[in-house]
Structure 1
Amino acid sequence: MLIDLSVNDTPHQIEAEDRTLLIDALAEVGARAIPEGCSEGMCGSCTVLADGEPIRSCTALAAEMSEVDITTTEGLNSPDEQVLTDLQQAFSRAGALQCGYCTPGMLMVGAWLAARHRDETDPISGAVVRRAINGNLCRCTGYEPIVAALCDYIDNQRTPHIDESA
């Protein structure tokens, strides 16, 4: 069957079986920065955004993703591949980059969480970040550097609010 996919704002059409997993379809169209960690949807390393919501690409069927905008970690990258994005810089500053197993999934959840909290004025809490990354396994950092990186990134990405009453 032919499957139409929109990956990182680029349309693709692939020939695939109805049971083809999204992670395999994404690899076929050239999205290669998606590690397959557990193949069961348990580790979160293969997380992508489907219409802005995080999903596990190792358990999602490609055929169900027609008419859905898929964003992978490549879609978060700067146009100049030599320049780190603000999200990547936050991970680097916080020491949240270790073996790399969890990094793609954590970046995707971070991008999703930042979009959800963009208009808030109070700093995001570590508890909110921990709930969001629950289910994304990290073998190296103990999660605290990741939480710190995401709090830093989200708080710095917010739209500035001007107090008109002052």
Structure 2
Amino acid sequence: MKLYPALAAAIAMSLASFSLPANAQDEDSEAEGTAGAAVVAPSRVTRIADLRFGAFASPATASTLRVGVDGSVVPTGAVASAMYVAQPPDGRGPAQFRIEQDGSFFFIAYYPRSVTISSGSDSMLVDNTTARLVRTSTAGTNSEWRLDMGGTLNIGANQSPGSYSGDFVITVLYF
């Protein structure tokens, strides 16, 4: 049977003109949902020790003093022979921070690439910083970590004597 376009349009229009009875429900319909949240104890970052380059005599030529994350100390240049002076009570060593991880969250720790330390108008740059994370304890899903940070102190020739310091921030993001 051949169907002509005009005939098909007429059939479609006649079908569209029929009205069917609406079947509405007698009652409204509802469903319940639940809202929830998990609150965990806050995680903390605590400073244990500062990054310490100790004491040294002012070198005649530009030098570097590297403190590794493992506490190793590597001098280069004239400071190598200028390191044998009385040390402060804390000596030399990496910065250390305690990171408490509560629950089964992941975290990322950020540390600075460089830090400027100053004494009055004089300054030195600490660069080539490195860090490591060491898990120190685990209890259930909670963990405690230690972040160790070392770096290289760039000492100028005939660096002015003084007590040099500078602040830096360790940022821990939990997710």
Normalised TM-score (structure 1): 0.24
Q: Which has the higher helix share?
A: 1
In terms of Rg, which structure is larger?
2
Normalised TM-score (structure 2): 0.23
